């Protein structure tokens, strides 16, 4: 996935067409061609041609059965979300891809407003069962809707945790979250010199999150970054509010994951009940 060269190949009409697909995502998995043509104010034949061009670039997927319609690919939704960040003045330049996994792709970017930053493009949905039920009432569940919800959830959590040891979240558009660039390494990749202090810092932070009403929900050595300046906790799409269904089990699992990593990697033994009491997590 390379966004900059693709971005340059998009014309005014292409963006209008993508705008219309985006506006109708909640009502249609495949947005009808007639509706796109109408909203984009482009003739139907020309709309079809542009949609074919966008499909050749793997930005959309077109279907012909039942009715003619188009939907975003992950690449297309990410490109369109980037466009919204650019239009709103939040992003000035997209840089290189820093990493791409099963669940997201992370890019460097530059913002006149915020300086060097990163964009995380969400690929899959991380929504709680309750939210999935909510979603059913206003449209079909499909990849784009879920990825957007997931980005929204991550942005919301990062906003609530502002000022704590998390990247500062600057903006959310579509499946993209624009956030502070953290220059640090994943915990599992390094051997820290002061594991007791690092574990203490992580648990302190989990306690602070809890007091702001947030449970991470996927805490592990993969989602903690460390450097000489300290620790950061990242990756919040599956976070839940304290008090929502299953939050206590998630909190316990988060802590157990961290404790078991420090046990295996550094031989540090800490009892979960002691930790819950010590860090004000009861
Ligand atoms: N704000 C950031 N600053 C610097 N690097 C980041 C930032 N956010 C994420 N990364 C890097 O990208 C990687 C993946 O990010 P994250 O854990 O948020 O996504 P993920 O959904 O787990 O992705 P994956 O499917 O690749 O595991 C992180 O391990 C980290 O190396
Ligand atoms: Mg992760």
**Backbone φ, ψ for residue 84 (5° rounding):** -65, -40
**How confident is residue 137, by pLDDT bands cut at 50, 70 and 90?**
low
What average pLDDT does this structure show over 246-254?
97
Q: How far apart are CA 26 and CA 138, in angstroms?
A: 7
**Backbone φ, ψ for residue 280 (5° rounding):** 65, 40
| Burial group, residue 101, by CB count within 10 angstroms (0-12, 13-18, 19+) | exposed
For 63-92, write each residue's pLDDT tens digit: 999 999 999 999 999 999 999 999 999 999
User: Residue 185 CA: which ligand 1 atom is closest?
Assistant: 31
**Which residue among 1, 96, 97, 101 has the greatest number of ligand 1 atoms within 8 angstroms of its CB, and so is best to mutate?**
101
Q: How far apart are CA 251 and CA 254, in angstroms?
A: 5
What average pLDDT does this structure show over 204-217?
98
Residue 130 predicted with pLDDT over 70: no
Provide CATH code, domain 185-278.
1.10.510.10
Is any atom of ligand 1 closer than 6 Å to the C-beta of 116? no
Percent of the chain residues past pLDDT 90, beyond the cut? 92
What average pLDDT does this structure show over 198-224?
98
- Please tell me the distance between residue 21's alpha carbon and the centre of ligand 2 in angstroms: 29
**How confident is residue 1, by pLDDT bands cut at 50, 70 and 90?**
confident
What per-residue confidence (pLDDT) applies to 66? 94
**How confident is residue 242, by pLDDT bands cut at 50, 70 and 90?**
very high
What per-residue confidence (pLDDT) applies to 274? 97
CATH superfamily of 89-180: Phosphorylase Kinase; domain 1 (3.30.200.20)
Domains in the chain: boundaries: 3-75, 89-180, 185-278
Provide CATH code, domain 3-75.
1.10.10.10
Q: Quote the distance between the C-alpha of residue 117 and its chain's center.
A: 14
For 86-118, write each residue's pLDDT tens digit: 999 999 999 999 999 889 999 999 999 999 999
Residue 128 predicted with pLDDT over 90: no
Q: Give the residue, 252 or 138, on which the prediction is more confident.
A: 252
- How many helices (H) and strands (E) the chain has is answered by 10, 13
Is any atom of ligand 1 closer than 6 Å to the C-beta of 118? yes
**How confident is residue 125, by pLDDT bands cut at 50, 70 and 90?**
confident
Ligand nearest to the CA of 105: 1
Catalytically active residues are 218
Is any atom of ligand 1 closer than 6 Å to the C-beta of 167? yes
**How confident is residue 124, by pLDDT bands cut at 50, 70 and 90?**
confident
**Which residue among 177, 234, 257 has the greatest number of ligand 1 atoms within 8 angstroms of its CB, and so is best to mutate?**
234
pTM attached to this predicted model: 0.94
Query: In sequence order, what E strands does 9-64 have?
Result: 31-32, 60-63
Residue 131 predicted with pLDDT over 80: no
């Amino acid at each position: 996935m390379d966004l900059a060269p693709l971005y340059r190949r998009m014309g005014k009409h292409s963006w209008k067409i993508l705008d219309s697909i985006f506006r109708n995502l909640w009502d249609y998995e495949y947005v009808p061609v007639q509706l796109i043509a109408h909203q984009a104010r482009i003739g139907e034949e020309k709309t079809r041609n542009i949609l074919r061009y966008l499909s050749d670039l793997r930005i959309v997927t077109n279907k012909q059965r039942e009715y003619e319609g188009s939907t975003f690919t992950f690449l297309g939704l990410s490109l369109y979300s980037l466009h919204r960040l650019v239009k709103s003045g939040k992003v000035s330049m997209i840089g290189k891809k820093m990493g791409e996994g099963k669940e997201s792709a992370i890019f460097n970017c530059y913002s006149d407003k915020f300086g060097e930053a990163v964009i995380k493009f969400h690929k899959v949905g991380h929504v709680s069962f309750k939210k999935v039920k909510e979603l059913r009432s206003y449209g079909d569940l499909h990849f784009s809707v879920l990825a957007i919800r997931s980005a929204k959830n991550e942005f919301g959590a990062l906003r609530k945790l502002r000022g704590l040891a998390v990247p500062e979240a600057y903006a959310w558009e579509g499946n993209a979250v624009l956030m502070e660039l953290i220059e640090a390494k994943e915990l599992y990749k390094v051997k820290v010199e002061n594991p007791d202090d690092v574990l203490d810092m992580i648990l302190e932070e989990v306690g602070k999150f809890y007091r702001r009403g947030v449970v991470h929900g996927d805490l592990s050595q993969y989602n903690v970054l460390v450097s000489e300046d300290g620790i950061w906790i990242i990756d919040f799409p599956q976070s839940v509010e304290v008090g929502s269904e299953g939050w206590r089990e998630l909190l316990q699992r988060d802590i157990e994951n961290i404790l078991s990593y420090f046990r295996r990697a550094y031989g540090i033994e800490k009892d979960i009940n002691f930790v819950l009491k010590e860090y004000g997590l009861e």
